[in-house]
Amino acid sequence: MNILLMGHPNVGKSVVFNRITGANVSESNYSGTTVDYAKGYVRVGHKEMELIDVPGTFSLEPKDKAEEVAVKMLNENKDSVVICVIDSTKIERGLYLALEIIEMGNPVVIALNMQDVAEDKNIQINVEKLQKILGVPVVSTIAVSGKGMKELMFSVKKATSSNIKDIVENVGGNQ
pLDDT at 45: 76
Task: Note whether 140 and 16 are within 8 A (CB).
Answer: no
pLDDT at 27: 53
Residue 169 vs residues 33, 56, 59, 163, 165: alpha-carbon distances, Å: 40, 29, 22, 10, 6
pLDDT at 39: 87
One-letter amino acid at 147 equals: K
Burial 83-97 (b: 16+ CB within 10 A, else e): bbbbbbbebeebbeb
pLDDT at 119: 95
pLDDT at 24: 54
Residue 69 and residue 163: Cα distance in Å, rounded? 26
Task: Note whether 133 and 102 are within 8 A (CB).
Answer: no
Residues of the chain with pLDDT under 70: 23-35, 160-175
pLDDT at 148: 95
pLDDT at 31: 53
Pairing mode of beta strands 81-87, 2-7:
parallel
> What's the predicted TM-score (pTM) here?
0.84
* Architecture of the domain delimited by 2-167: 3-Layer(aba) Sandwich (3.40)
- Domain boundaries defined on the chain: 2-167
